[in-house]
Amino acid sequence: MVQALVSAKTQTVKEIKKKSSIKRRNKLIVKLILITIVAILIALILSKIVVETRTSFTNNDIDFKSVNFHIHEGFEIFGTDKNYLLVFNYYYQDTNYLSSVIDGLVFSQSMLSAKNKNTILLISVIDNENNLLYCQSNNGNVLENIELTSEECLSLLDTNHSVIMVNYPFGDVEKSEVVLNLNEKLLLINPKSKEFVYDSLYVSFNQMYKDAKMIEDSLTDIQNKLSTSKEKSLVDKNIIDENIVDENFYDQNILIDENFSDDNSLNDDNFSQDINN
């Protein structure tokens, strides 16, 4: 009887230990599964972050994206072309649009010129449905400005030039976006408003050319010198004009003095005659 109880007790202890061991093993398996799941989730998150970093970034509240290519390398490759078509689309009823984006236009042309690129400027006039009406172009010569038909405009777009196109901001996008498509040799700028045009171009050119900031500083320096020279010329002209006024005043005094002298002589003669009489 006692032996049976001891045997039963021993068996119970073994079963308890066995069950405890199974529970510990099950807990370990659950932990391993949880760790694996967490690791997979982290890997997926990191993978997503890496992809976004490779193909996009945001600057000055503008989204920059690249189609199927590393965005920073893509901009550098896009900047190596020799021939560019710089296109500004504007709504035909917004006659003040070009004057409001002239800084971006001049900056782009100056930057491409400084990099010795062949650049054709194309101003495309569109209606409210984005249909091309006609365009104006310099045909690569800054001294020219000719009007082209829509067919002639499209033929220019079909050339082998790399295209930098600034769309007109109709206000139909929530955020400004710049999309680089190397396969199509196209840098497309969709500004939320005209205020974003310059920043979009500025950041793009700084991505294309590592020395863009140095070029910009040089251009600014030249512009300041020209402005100073122009102001000096105006000052010199004003001084000359003032001298002319002084000279006229001097001439008038001479005339007045001469008349005064003649009058005195006349009076003296009359006075002498009176005395003689």
Domain boundaries, the chain: 8-55, 62-210, 220-253
Tell me the CA distances in angstroms from 187 to 91, 162, 163, 200, one per residue in order.
Answer: 20, 8, 6, 11
For the chain, 277 residues long, give each residue's pLDDT as a single digit of tens.
545 544 555 556 566 666 666 666 666 565 656 666 766 665 555 444 444 568 999 999 999 999 989 999 999 999 999 999 999 999 999 999 999 999 999 999 999 999 999 999 999 999 999 999 999 999 888 888 999 999 999 998 888 999 999 999 999 899 999 999 999 999 999 999 999 999 999 999 999 999 999 998 988 888 788 877 766 666 555 555 555 445 554 454 444 454 444 444 444 554 444 444 4
Exposed (0-12), middle (13-18) or buried (19+): which is 206, by Cβ within 10 Å? middle
- Identify whether the C-beta of residue 109 lies closer than 8 Å to the C-beta of residue 137: no
Tell me the CA distances in angstroms from 114 to 108, 110, 117, 143, one per residue in order.
Answer: 10, 6, 8, 17
Q: What pLDDT shows up at residue 157?
A: 87
Both tokens of 51, joined, read 């992809």
Both tokens of 262, joined, read 């003649």
Question: Angle CA(139)–CA(194)–CA(218) in degrees, nearest 5?
Answer: 60
Side chain identity, residue 271: F
Distance CA 140, CA 36 (A): 61
Both tokens of 116, joined, read 């010795």
Distance CA 148, CA 145 (A): 10
The overall pTM is greater than 0.85: no
- Identify whether the C-beta of residue 45 lies closer than 8 Å to the C-beta of residue 158: no
CA-wise closest residue to 125 among 162, 87, 159: 87
Q: What pLDDT shows up at residue 266?
A: 43
Distance CA 5, CA 8 (A): 5
